């Protein structure tokens, strides 16, 4: 498998190549094939968010201090640097997204959204390369794109309810806004701090004409919204009191995978909100969670380890020490050939087991016949 | 060790007598063997070196579970880098206690202030939280904030906050012995002590080591001959303070100045008490040969 990891201490990106079963904590286990450092800068300008463009030509990195840098994916040579994209230095990037039309959207904590058109990247005219800026209602803690619909986004933050918006030709329009849950048993409003949103699949044939949203909060809530039904969540769970920070979900939309600020990465059922699985190993806060084709997840955080897990079984597939705290992670490949090899090996083992079992039964039958004779 | 042939005598006193005799003979034999070996090794020192090389006893430390972060090179910079880069600037430490401190909490805070050069003690006020104090200290150019935690007139922990951006460390504290309770103790002077950090080898250990280093000024005053030692053994950090004395050209004597106490790392948090970087869990003590510092 191949992973790209953004590191805080070195301000760089590390490209990791390893096989399934790699574990740097065990001397006798498989070790990573290669770990290479790229795009080194300083801790003051470390990468907060990054993405690899869909054509794998560029790598776009949002750095602390407000710079967005476009690198060549293969050589990691700097192509273009956009400066002062956060409006003020204390505000950090919370999101960096590419849509299907080759537009890059970056969003900061203060609600500034910058739109960069990658199609105009190589043009000499500087004016066309200037990003378009939009202003969301701040503060923003998460900003996500609807993978099924171009130009539809959702965001939320501290005391900032979930808002679904559309951005078309540089114009922003609010389509929907959630409403806070009812007052608690003390008749006090429940605090809001949306920290992660996912768009779930909808079925228009069943009359699901709006957006199906999954959200987490820094107060430990997991909520499901169906915008065609009501503004309040249709499901609301609080499986933990710790702050939930990162979110992804399984392909069946039945489970949410979240990490909290104390190092837990868990799989939560969206039926009853209970934790049904735990991704073991992490000691510190898991800051980055990447869902690779709904089959494996890659995690990285403050404990300086990158871990890869099977999404369904929660089994750890790789554990690599990367010497620095991780801020963001992307999984590029998951060695499909290896998977095939594994499948072949498993089949062989199964066949062998069947053969052994048959041999054992035969032996038992022979033994039982001899015993009968003795009895007679 | 039992004799080769069991002593089958039915009389208990007689049996005991025989066993004592057997033990005595065995000891004599061992002493003779040792004397003989010592004689041989005196003539040929290589034999002794060979024997010692072959018979290395296993200790918990030597059987330590493999940790790839041990002695790993520090990549890039961390929160303590400013202290190591800007060697002209000495640390400025503020020491305070938990709310409503009792006598022992105040005594311990005074102890900390005593051995930390350039530290200031400020009485804790209830209305200020840790985050408030951290921001006030940062505004007043303090490099570290130390909060002594006390429960029922017993010091239970210390919080170290490196300013202005963290991290925050919480250590539990045990076995505090004041200077005056140490037999033959000396009296400390106000000289800047030298610092010895032992066995902080893992990546986490190095961070903890760098924290302690960043509390002391860069240039110790050697004329004071005072040494502060923070010795890590099996994740327990032992604090000791000594004065060394040159008895003659070859011999050096040590005089303990005190205090003594033991710390254990319980939690490391990013920033000012924010996300958990590392936290001690009871399950971590299950494997006796796994160490984290």
Looking at the DSSP bridge assignments, the partners of residue B155 are B150
Residue A184, CA atoms < 13 Å, CB-side half-sphere: 8
Nearest to residue A317, comparing CAs of A54, A5, A23, A13? A23
Percent of chain A with pLDDT over 90: 59
Q: What span, in angstroms and rounded, lies between the C-alpha atoms of A72 and A79?
A: 7
Q: What is the ipTM of this complex?
A: 0.84
Confidence of residue A368 (pLDDT cuts 50, 70, 90): low
Considering all CA atoms of chain A, what is the largest pairwise distance in Å, rounded to the nearest integer? 102
With tokens 């006796």, the residue in question is: B288
Percent of chain B with pLDDT over 90: 85
With tokens 């066309």, the residue in question is: A128
Q: What is the mean pLDDT of residues B78-98?
A: 92
- What pLDDT, on a 0 to 100 scale, did the predictor assign at position B51? 93
DSSP state of B279: E
The answer for residues whose C-beta is within 8 angstroms of residue B32's C-beta and 6 or more apart is: none
3-state helix/strand/coil string of chain A:
CEEEEEECCCCCEEEEECCCCEECCCCCCECCCEEEEECCCCHHHCEEEEEECCCCCEEEEEECCCCEEEEECCCCCEEEEECCCCCCCCCCEEEEEECCCCEEEEEECCCEEEEEEHHHCCCCCCHHHCCEEEECCCCCCEEEECCCCCCEEEEEEECEEEEEEEEECCEEEEEEECCCCCCCCCCCCCCCEEEEEEEECCCHHHCCCCCEEEEEECCCCEEEEECCCCCCCCEEECCCCCCEEEEEECCCCCEEEEEECCCCEEEEECCCCCEEEECCCCCCCEEEEEEECCCEEEEEECCCEEEEEECCCCCEEEEEECCCCEEEEEEEECCHHHHHHHHHHHHHHHHHHHHHHHHHHHHHHHHHHHHHHHHC
- What pLDDT, on a 0 to 100 scale, did the predictor assign at position A376? 57
H-helix segments, B58-214: 81-85, 103-115, 130-139, 203-213
Residues on chain B touching A26 (C-beta within 8 angstroms): 66
CATH classification (class only), B81-285: alpha beta
| A10 token code pair | 């070195």
Q: What span, in angstroms and rounded, lies between the C-alpha atoms of A287 and A319?
A: 16
Buried b (16+ CB within 10 A) or exposed e, A52-61: beeeeebbbb
Residue of A nearest to B278 (CA): A284
Residue of A nearest to B283 (CA): A283
| A190 token code pair | 């429940």
Distance of CA A294 to the CA centre of its chain: 10
Q: What does pLDDT average to over chain B? A: 93
Q: What is the mean pLDDT of residues A108-115?
A: 91
Q: Is B237 a residue whose pLDDT tops 80?
A: yes
Nearest to residue A180, comparing CAs of A189, A171, A169, A168? A189
- What pLDDT, on a 0 to 100 scale, did the predictor assign at position B192? 94
Chain B: closest CA distance from residue A262 (Å): 5
Q: What is the mean pLDDT of residues A67-90?
A: 86
pLDDT digits (tens, 9 = 90+) for B65-74: 999 999 888 8
pLDDT digits (tens, 9 = 90+) for A28-65: 998 888 899 999 999 999 999 999 998 888 999 999 98
Q: What span, in angstroms and rounded, lies between the C-alpha atoms of B262 and B151?
A: 17
List the strands of the sheet with A171-177, edge to edge.
Answer: A142-145, A152-157, A160-168, A171-177
Residues on chain B touching A302 (C-beta within 8 angstroms): 270, 275-278
List the strands of the sheet with A244-249, edge to edge.
Answer: A244-249, A255-260, A265-269, A275-278
**Which region among A46-55, A121-130, A283-292 has the lowest average model confidence (pLDDT)?**
A121-130
Q: What does pLDDT average to over chain A? A: 88
**Which region among A9-23, A174-188, A241-255, A357-371 has the lowest average model confidence (pLDDT)?**
A357-371
pLDDT digits (tens, 9 = 90+) for A229-277: 999 999 999 999 999 999 999 988 899 999 999 989 999 999 999 999 9
Backbone angles phi, psi at B270, to 5 degrees: -75, 145
Chain A: closest CA distance from residue B77 (Å): 5
Q: Long-range CB contacts (< 8 A, 24+ apart) of A117-123?
A: A118/A53, A118/A58, A118/A70, A121/A58, A121/A70, A121/A79, A121/A80
Q: What is the mean pLDDT of residues A290-308?
A: 93
pLDDT digits (tens, 9 = 90+) for A301-350: 999 999 999 999 999 999 999 999 999 999 998 875 665 566 677 778 88
Residues on chain B touching A285 (C-beta within 8 angstroms): 270, 275-277
* Cα distance from N-terminal residue to C-terminal residue, chain A: 64
Check if the beta carbon of residue A290 is closer than 8 Å to that of residue A307: no
**Which region among A347-351, B40-44, B113-117, B185-189 has the lowest average model confidence (pLDDT)?**
A347-351
Whether A304 sits inside 8 A of B69 (CB atoms) is yes
Q: Is B226 a residue whose pLDDT tops 80?
A: yes
Q: Is A283 a residue whose pLDDT tops 80?
A: yes
Check if the beta carbon of residue A353 is closer than 8 Å to that of residue A315: no
Distance of CA B259 to the CA centre of its chain: 13
Residue B28, CA atoms < 13 Å, CB-side half-sphere: 6
Residue of B nearest to A242 (CA): B275
| A253 token code pair | 């939309």
Instruction: Say whether B144 sits in a helix, a strand or coil.
Output: strand
Q: Is A134 a residue whose pLDDT tops 70?
A: yes
Residues on chain B touching A241 (C-beta within 8 angstroms): none
Disruptive mutation site among A218, A259, A302, A303 for chain B (greatest number of B CBs within 10 Å): A302
Minimum-distance CB partner of A304 among B67, B203, B270: B203
Looking at the DSSP bridge assignments, the partners of residue B255 are B243
- What pLDDT, on a 0 to 100 scale, did the predictor assign at position A117? 87
Buried b (16+ CB within 10 A) or exposed e, B124-140: beeeeebeebbeebbee
**Which region among A365-374, B10-19, B129-138 has the lowest average model confidence (pLDDT)?**
A365-374
Looking at the DSSP bridge assignments, the partners of residue A145 are A153
Whether A25 sits inside 8 A of B67 (CB atoms) is yes
* Cα distance from N-terminal residue to C-terminal residue, chain B: 39
Looking at the DSSP bridge assignments, the partners of residue A142 are A156
Residue of A nearest to B274 (CA): A261
Q: What residue segments make up the domains of chain B, in order of their start? A: 81-285
CA distances from A80 to A70, A71, A188, B285 (A): 5, 7, 50, 51
- What pLDDT, on a 0 to 100 scale, did the predictor assign at position A237? 92
Q: What span, in angstroms and rounded, lies between the C-alpha atoms of B25 and A35?
A: 64
Of B131 and A205, the one with more pLDDT: B131
Whether A324 sits inside 8 A of B67 (CB atoms) is no
Interface list for chain A against chain B, based on CB atoms closer than 8 Å: 7-12, 24-27, 42-43, 245, 261-263, 283-285, 287, 302-304, 321, 323-324
Q: Is B77 on the interface with A (CB under 8 A)?
A: yes
Torsion angle of alpha carbons A208, A214, A217, A220, nearest 10°?
A: 110
- What pLDDT, on a 0 to 100 scale, did the predictor assign at position A126? 57
| A362 token code pair | 């035969």
Instruction: For chain A, state the CA radius of gyration.
Output: 25
Q: Is A122 a residue whose pLDDT tops 80?
A: no
| B71 token code pair | 């002695």
Q: Is B290 a residue whose pLDDT tops 70?
A: yes
């Amino acid at each position: 498998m191949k992973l790209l990891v953004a590191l805080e201490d070195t301000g760089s990106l590390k490209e990791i190549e390893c096989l399934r079963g790699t574990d740097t904590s065990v001397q006798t286990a498989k070790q990573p094939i290669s770990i290479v450092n790229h795009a080194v800068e300083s801790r003051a300008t470390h990468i907060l968010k990054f993405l690899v463009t869909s054509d794998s030509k560029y790598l776009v990195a949002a750095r602390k201090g407000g710079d967005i840098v476009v690198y060549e994916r293969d050589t990691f040579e700097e192509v273009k640097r956009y400066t002062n994209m956060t409006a003020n230095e204390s505000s950090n990037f919370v999101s960096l997204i590419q849509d299907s039309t080759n537009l890059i959207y970056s969003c900061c904590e203060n609600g500034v959204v910058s739109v960069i058109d990658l199609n105009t990247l190589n043009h000499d005219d500087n004016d066309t390369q200037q990003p378009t800026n939009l202003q969301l209602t701040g503060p923003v803690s998460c900003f996500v794109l609807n993978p099924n619909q171009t130009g539809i986004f959702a965001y939320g933050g501290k005391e900032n309810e979930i808002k679904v918006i559309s951005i078309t030709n540089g114009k922003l329009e609010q389509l929907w806004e959630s409403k806070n849950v009812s007052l608690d048993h003390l008749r006090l409003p429940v605090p809001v701090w949306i920290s992660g949103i996912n768009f779930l699949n909808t079925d228009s044939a069943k009359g699901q004409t709006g957006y199906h949203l999954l959200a987490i909060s820094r107060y430990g809530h997991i909520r499901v919204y169906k915008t065609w039904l009501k503004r309040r969540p249709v499901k609301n769970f609080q499986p933990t009191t710790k702050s939930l920070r990162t979110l992804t979900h399984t392909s069946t939309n039945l489970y949410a995978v979240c990490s909290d600020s104390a190092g837990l990465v868990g799989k939560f059922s969206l039926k009853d909100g209970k934790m049904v699985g735990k991704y073991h190993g992490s000691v510190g806060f898991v800051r980055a969670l990447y869902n690779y084709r709904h089959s494996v997840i890659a995690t990285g955080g403050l404990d300086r380890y990158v871990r890869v897990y099977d999404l369904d079984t929660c089994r750890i597939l790789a554990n690599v020490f990367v010497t620095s705290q991780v801020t963001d992670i992307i999984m590029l490949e998951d060695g499909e050939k290896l998977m095939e090899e594994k499948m072949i090996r498993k089949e062989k083992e199964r066949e062998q087991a069947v053969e052994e079992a048959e041999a054992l039964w035969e032996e038992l039958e022979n033994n039982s016949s001899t015993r009968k004779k003795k009895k007679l | 060790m039992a004799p080769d042939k069991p002593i089958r005598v039915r009389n208990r006193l007689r049996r005991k007598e025989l066993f004592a005799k057997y033990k005595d003979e065995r000891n004599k034999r061992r002493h003779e063997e040792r004397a003989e070996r010592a004689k041989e090794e005196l003539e040929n020192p290589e034999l002794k070196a060979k024997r010692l090389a072959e018979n290395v006893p296993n200790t918990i430390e030597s059987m330590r579970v493999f940790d790839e972060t041990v002695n790993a090179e520090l990549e890039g910079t961390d929160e303590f880098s400013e202290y190591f880069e800007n060697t002209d600037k000495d640390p400025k430490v503020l020491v305070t206690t938990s709310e409503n401190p009792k006598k022992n909490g105040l005594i311990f805070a005074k102890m900390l202030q005593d051995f930390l050069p350039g530290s200031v003690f400020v009485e804790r006020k209830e209305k200020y939280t840790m985050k408030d104090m951290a921001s006030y200290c940062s505004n007043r150019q303090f490099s570290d904030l130390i909060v002594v935690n006390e429960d029922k007139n017993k010091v239970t922990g210390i919080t170290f906050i490196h300013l202005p951006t963290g991290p925050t460390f919480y250590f539990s504290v045990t076995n505090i012995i004041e200077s005056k309770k140490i037999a033959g103790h000396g009296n400390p002077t106000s000289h800047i002590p030298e610092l010895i950090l032992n066995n902080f080898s893992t990546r986490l250990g190095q961070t903890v080591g760098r924290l302690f280093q960043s509390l002391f000024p860069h240039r110790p005053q050697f004329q004071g001959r005072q040494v502060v030692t923070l010795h890590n053994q099996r994740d327990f950090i032992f604090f000791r303070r000594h004065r060394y004395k040159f008895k003659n050209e070859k011999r050096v004597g040590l005089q303990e100045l005190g205090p003594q106490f033991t710390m254990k790392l319980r939690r490391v948090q990013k920033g000012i008490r924010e996300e958990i970087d590392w936290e001690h869990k009871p399950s971590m003590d299950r494997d006796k040969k796994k160490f984290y510092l």
